Structures are given as C-alpha cells and as structure tokens.
Amino acid sequence: MNYEPIQVHVSEPETSEGVVDGKWMVITEEGLGNVVFYPFDYKERADDFFDKQLFARILFDPDLQEVRTGGMNPLALSSIRCSKQQKSEGIIEGKWMVVTEQGLGNICFYPFSDEKKARVLFDRLVFSRVLLDPARQEVSTGGFNPLSLYNIRNKVANTSTVSSSVW
C-alpha cells in the first residue's frame, strides 16, 4: 500500500494595527517598542499562541481585561499595557489622566472616565507616571526616575486642557 504523506500547513496568526473590538487579543513586544497585536476569535487559539511565545506578552479577553502575562521584561509589559489604551494629545477636561514618560521626552497622556479605570493602568506600570484628577491635581506618582517625573510635571504645567467635547 502506498500512503501519501499528509501535509499540514500551520499559518501564522494575522496581526492587526491595534486592538480589535470583541476579539481575544495577544499583544506582544517583539523588540524595543515593536508592539504587535494578534486578534483571535476563540480563547483556545489565543491561549495556544500565547503559550508558544517567548516575547513579553499579555492575553486580553474581548472586554480588554488582562487574563494573564508572560515574559520577564516588566518595561515591555508596561509598553503593551499602554499600547491598548487610547491616547490624547494632552489633558482632557473633566477626565482622570495617567501621564507617562516612555523614553526621554516622550510624554504620553491617557484619559479615563473615572479614577478606578485610571488606577488599573497606573498601578500596573513600572515606568515613571503621574495620576491626575479631573481638576489637574496630582493624586499619585510612580516610577524610580526623578528626572522623568520632572519632565512629566513640566509637560503637564505647559499643556493646555482640551475640551472633552473635542475629544
């Protein structure tokens, strides 16, 4: 009897430009600042892909809640967490803000509708950051770099508030 070998083609999962609504997401950092988004329809496929990766990575459910993390680089995990957040160009009127420095002079603004949501990101980051209440008052700081905190505070002091209706 002659048997033909079975050929199985295993394709790499598709990537996306960012978070895809309603999908399981594995987000990785594949080299400094190279954040890659992998959407999946099913948790089992996302889990399987997650388990095979060596890069720093986070698995998010379709509601964008963290399910688990992998990898040994806390800075990369912080970058991944920020990559899924919506950024603004500055401080948004009436919003809680997490403001970070991600690389020298690269100040990033992340607006939130309430303190609880802002604290979820704030508490999971390792790089320097400031938490601002809707009145632009500093509520908390984190990180180990005093120069970064100075840079963040200076940028906040020199940034105009953007109307929430524009954003």
pTM comes to: 0.84
Confidence (pLDDT) at 12:
74
Confidence (pLDDT) at 9:
47
Confidence (pLDDT) at 11:
63
Which stretches of the chain score pLDDT less than 50? 8-9
Confidence (pLDDT) at 19:
94
Confidence (pLDDT) at 81:
95
Confidence (pLDDT) at 21:
94
- Describe the strand order of the beta sheet including 138-142 as a list of residue ranges: 107-112, 96-101, 129-132, 138-142
Under 8 Å CB-to-CB from 110, ≥6 apart: which residues? 82, 85, 86, 87, 88, 97, 98, 99, 100, 118, 121
Confidence (pLDDT) at 162:
79
Helix (H) or strand (E) holding 56: strand 56-60
SS3 119: helix
